[in-house]
Structure 1
Amino acid sequence: MRAIQITEFGGPEVLTLTELPDPDPGPGGLLVEVDRAGVNYADTHQAENSYLAPATLPLVPGSEVAGRTADGRRIVALTAGGGYAEKAAVDPAMAYDIPDGVSDEAALALVVQGATAWVLLRKSVRLEPGESVVVHAAAGGVGTLAVQLAKLFGAGRVIAVASGAEKRDRALELGADTAVDSAAPDMAAALIEANGGRRVDVVLDMVGGRVTDGSLRALAPFGRLAFYGMASRELPSPVKPANLMRFSTTVAGMWLPHVRLLPGDVMGRAMAEMFTLVADGDLRTVTGGVLPLARAREAHEALRSRGTVGKLLLDPTA
């Protein structure tokens, strides 16, 4: 089968198209003919071995696929790698049947980015009705869904942060109440101004660096910031516990694989709710482009430059 393989760590240039044997799903596993593979920002970290989970070479990247099983089921699934390929081995416990009315592209937008937004809002910050929510990188895969889910979950005011007028306009189209330029020189002041002069209740942050620092300064008493990525590749200032107590604020971290450790099928609940919202037309997924498998490098270059909007996909059939 054709696959993208990494044999040395580095930037997008280490993604190489090659021929590999079909993966062995093992006893009870599923072998999926991949129609679409999702590309995540975390994949760019894995390529350079700077992700939370250390990688081992050689590897085929890709943690999510949509396709068909041997018995004809149309599924979307999380994988332990191997998604950038014509075939992928899948754990049935992490596979979800795609219902009628939901496309492969939409399902892939939900299984990582959508689930991340859902868990951030439901579990990490426990959004309450009427609260203000700041969504950084609001035009990205998680951001476009977080803006909508925050509104659907009862947020009083959603503040989208993005670079470029086009990205900010997209966030407004998706339901954000206002938008802030990510290049604002004083992020705290910009967020407070966007919230009508009031400090904000919730911040979803995957940028890091000065954006995190400014967002923390903008939090209201009992405000919560959920940190789930570091797209800037810049560390924020150290968080001082005394300051958390002084301002009655909370900082949470979230890594989606840990959802499997929660009691009950949290991931299944998230997927079921979002599938219904998409099928009913209440939640829109945004596809930022579908590239042939051989152009995986271009996908990583686009993500690293933060020039994408919505969910980026690979087509192993092309």
Structure 2
Amino acid sequence: MKRLLVFLFLIIIFLFLIFINNYFCNKDTAKTNNFLNNDQDINNLYTISNNGKIYKNGRNLLIKDDNTVGEIELNEELKNVSPIDIFLSEDANYLYLAIRSYRNENKSNLDKGKVVVYDINTNQSFDLFKKLSYTLNGFLHWATYKDNKMLILREDINENKSLIYIDLLNNSYSIINLPYKYVTSVDFIGDNFSCNCYDELLKKNILTVINSNGNILKRVNVKNLGTTYIFKASDNGNNILFSTGNTPQGLILYNFELDKEYTIIPPESKKDELEFLIYSAWKNNDTIYIYEMLSKDVKNERKYNLREENINLYIQDE
């Protein structure tokens, strides 16, 4: 009889623990869903990738697109990943986070750069380079993503730059040697690659388009091109969007066909009391997102603003 009572008691405890676990899980899920359904909570927006909004809540990233709501918890290594280094796959099943690394005096950052891939459905992660059996043997300066492909800007121990072109569907990669020693940012542009390169002879940055063999297809002298925080080509390859200037950075659009620059946000602009340009990207070939932090209001609180701009309005004004 005692054994039966003990057995029943253990069953009751077990069922109680299941109830408690489900209660808090459902409560957290409801809290997350309510948070993600509140698009007015702009202060927690972190970045936008493939039209999916990614929010940061403490150490968690909350992902929302048309069909998916997900949440992942970042470890210590990933908690400070920049908004421009987070990429959502087209099917919203995977999140790619690039960890940059730069040369220092004792080269202790060698091979510290990596790309971590999160499966949003299972909350499991893995090191992309390890999966590809690739050793960086250098520093990771820039990363970008498009259509299940990644492009990594790598610097080797001798300060030479190259691109790692990764096909994520086929789990393969190739190395593209660059024609310039000083390259600060890269992106996909059609079937080719756009690079922000520093020309030592001209003493200025040059917008360069190369193919998969590293051959130069086009060089453009863009007046306002310098060190960029944002460097994004439109899907059709007609335009490049890039940041410029000091804080607050301006936002410039360059059109290849017209060979002209158009100012979206003037450098060091005080319009609307802009304090910092957090992020900008393409929604489609005609529209861009701009996510910005404005100066503190009368209550000494930060204000954030997310807006969309039709680039044709700027081009038509010229």
TM-score of the aligned structures, taking structure 2 as reference length: 0.28
The higher relative CO (CA closer than 8 Å, separation ≥ 6) is in 1
TM-score of the aligned structures, taking structure 1 as reference length: 0.28
Between structure 1 and structure 2, the one with the greater Rg is 2
Q: Which has the higher helix share?
A: 1
Q: Which has the higher strand share?
A: 2
